[in-house]
Amino acid sequence: MRRFKILLTIARVGLLCYAGTAAAQSSAELLARSDSFSFYFPFNSDTISASQTENAAPLLTRIRKGSVDSVSIQAFADSAGAVPFNRLLSQKRMERVLQLIGATANDAGFSVRQVAWGEEKAGRLPGDSLDRRVDLAVYWKEKPVVDNIMVLSDLHFMPDRAVLQPSSMGALENYGRLLAAYRNRLVEIRGHVNYQFRKLPVTHPYFKLSEARAKLVADYLVEQGHRPELIKAVGMGNWQPAVPDARTVPEKESNMRVEIVIYQ
């Protein structure tokens, strides 16, 4: 009963910690991405095996193409030898990885963080062999790719309010079940309003209404198990009307719509 009461009243603002914005956007913001690979070395050696190079090929290719923003290389050694020797050995191992990616801190088109730890962090993992390694990590940002756009055409709001019409309750529940398959995907919910006179500024009450309608749907999806950090509620105002010169009630309702953009 509590959920139905919430959905039939003004949409809650800020009660759930999903990502929201009041500015109209045509797509989601850039996503932070990362990948990593660990190279393991024989005792007292800085040789990288061919099989490891092959397994790391996708990551190495991304780096060589410059499709990264930053690279982190951390080299380690076990504690079997003298401290100066182990530090030098970890330095040589790091240089081997630098040769693979074809970059140095000075000539790369991205930032390269290099740390040769020697045996300083040895013993934190079970077995000396795990200390004889270099951890390579890369970081980049990319624009998410749209997989599908779903128009909630039978989800209708009361005029000038972020309140669902009672007849839309069943439709919202159906959409919730349909979207359950995308709980681990980035989902952007866009709210729209019907306003015929001029393009609304983002500070206009009707523009904020479009965001409140998107947040109502976002609240519901989070309650149904969607990850809050993957839900983005966006107000579009009247910037993208389905029917630019809406005159009939169905046409105006088409402008008072919510769209769900599902990203890959």
- Report, as an integer, the average pLDDT of 137-150: 88
Q: Which of 82-86, 118-122, 214-218, 250-254 has the lowest mean pLDDT?
A: 250-254
**Interval 165-190: pLDDT, tens:** 898 989 999 999 989 999 888 899 99
Residue 137 has pLDDT above 80, yes or no: yes
To the nearest 10 degrees (0 to 180), the angle between helices 169-178 and 205-223 is: 60
CB 179 within 8 A of CB 259: no
Degrees, nearest 5: CA angle 134-137-139 = 165
Nearest to 190 by CA among 224, 215, 165, 170: 215
Please tell me if the domain spanning 2-30+144-263 has the same topology as the one spanning 32-142: yes
**Interval 33-53: pLDDT, tens:** 889 999 999 999 999 999 999
Distance of alpha carbon 205 from alpha carbon 160, whole angstroms: 9
Q: Which amino acid is at 184?
A: N
Q: Tally the C-alpha atoms within 13 A of residue 128's C-alpha that lie toward its C-beta.
A: 11
Nearest to 138 by CA among 106, 93, 101: 101
Which of the listed CATH numbers 3.30.1330.60, 3.40.50.150, 1.10.10.10, 3.40.50.720 matches domain 32-142? 3.30.1330.60
Q: What is the mean pLDDT of the chain?
A: 84
pLDDT for the residue numbered 27: 47
Tokens, residue 195:
């306003």
CB 59 within 8 A of CB 138: yes
pLDDT for the residue numbered 28: 55
Residue 132 has pLDDT above 90, yes or no: yes
Q: Which amino acid is at 33?
A: R
Rounded to the nearest 5 percent, the helix, strand and coil shares of the chain are: 35, 20, 45
CB 4 within 8 A of CB 169: yes
- Residue bearing the bigger pLDDT, 219 or 2: 219
Distance of alpha carbon 78 from alpha carbon 43, whole angstroms: 9
Distance of alpha carbon 67 from alpha carbon 143, whole angstroms: 13
Band of residue 21 on the pLDDT scale cut at 50, 70, 90: very low
Q: Where are the domains of the chain?
A: 2-30+144-263, 32-142
Nearest to 146 by CA among 243, 37, 25: 25
Q: Which amino acid is at 195?
A: Y
pLDDT for the residue numbered 127: 81
Which of the listed CATH numbers 3.20.20.70, 1.10.8.60, 2.130.10.10, 3.30.1330.60 matches domain 2-30+144-263? 3.30.1330.60
